[in-house]
Amino acid sequence: MVKFTYIRNFLKNLVMGFKANSLQVQKDNRKQTSTTEDLLLNKKDLEFLLSLVKNSTFKGEQIELIYNLTSKLQKAYLEIN
């Protein structure tokens, strides 16, 4: 029985050997571009998104979210004109 327990523990440690305390996380070297310039939409972008909403079908649970999103898109579109 001792040999079985030893072999079972050995295999368990071998297979489950990845432990969080030995995890090494490398620093993220990607540039973070969180400027608002990347998020600005022009008139053509807004027209495209509004047409997607117009031609789509949504579930009942999504209606409020789509309504609020569409309202924001329309306001942005009207500010551009």
Q: Is residue 11 part of a domain?
A: no
Q: Is the pTM of this model over 0.75?
A: no
How does pLDDT run along the chain (81 residues), one tens digit per residue? 555 676 666 666 655 555 555 656 667 676 665 555 566 889 999 999 999 999 999 889 999 999 999 999 999 999 987
Q: Is residue 31 part of a domain?
A: no
Q: Is residue 10 part of a domain?
A: no
Q: Is residue 22 part of a domain?
A: no
Q: Is residue 70 part of a domain?
A: yes
Count of structural domains within the chain: 1
* 3-state percent helix, strand, coil for the chain, nearest multiple of 5: 65, 0, 35
Q: Is residue 28 part of a domain?
A: no
Which of these, 53, 51, 41, lies nearest to 77 by C-alpha position? 41
Q: Is residue 15 part of a domain?
A: no
Q: What residues make up the domain containing 80?
A: 37-81
Query: Is 48 in a helix, a strand, or coil?
Result: helix
